[in-house]
Amino acid sequence: MKKIIDSKRYDTETAEQIHGWDNGIYGNDFKSCKETLYKTKNGAYFLYGSGGPMSKYAEPCGNNNVGGSSDIIPMDAEEAFQWLCDHGGEDAAEVEFPEMIHEA
């Protein structure tokens, strides 16, 4: 998927995949949701997500109906780090953001 946001092109075909996550619900289910964090060649992070009509990616499709969809969401480094930590990407967070991790 490609999307231009604020004059910047985000493209899942040319960016590096950092970490993928899904909510464990089968793809045909209305509540299914999948997200993948990417990094562009220029170091920008973005999330590509898709989901069913009862997911956060739901969108109106006429006649009071709702359908599933997909989207690209730009993220800064702090948002990308937090997303990784919240979605099982601790190993990727340690590789991508070692400066943000400190011993307890």
Our CA angle for 38, 44, 49, nearest 5°, is: 35
**Position 23, amino acid:** N
**pLDDT of 104:** 93
DSSP summary character for residue 97: -
| Dist. CA 89–CA 46, nearest whole Å | 15
**Statement: the pTM of the whole predicted model exceeds 0.75:** yes
Q: Render pLDDT for 43-71 as a digit per residue (tens, 0 to 9).
A: 999 999 999 999 999 999 988 899 999 99
Q: Render pLDDT for 17-44 as a digit per residue (tens, 0 to 9).
A: 999 999 999 878 999 999 999 999 999 9
Q: Render pLDDT for 81-104 as a digit per residue (tens, 0 to 9).
A: 999 999 999 999 999 999 999 999
**pLDDT of 51:** 95
Looking at the DSSP bridge assignments, the partners of residue 20 are 36
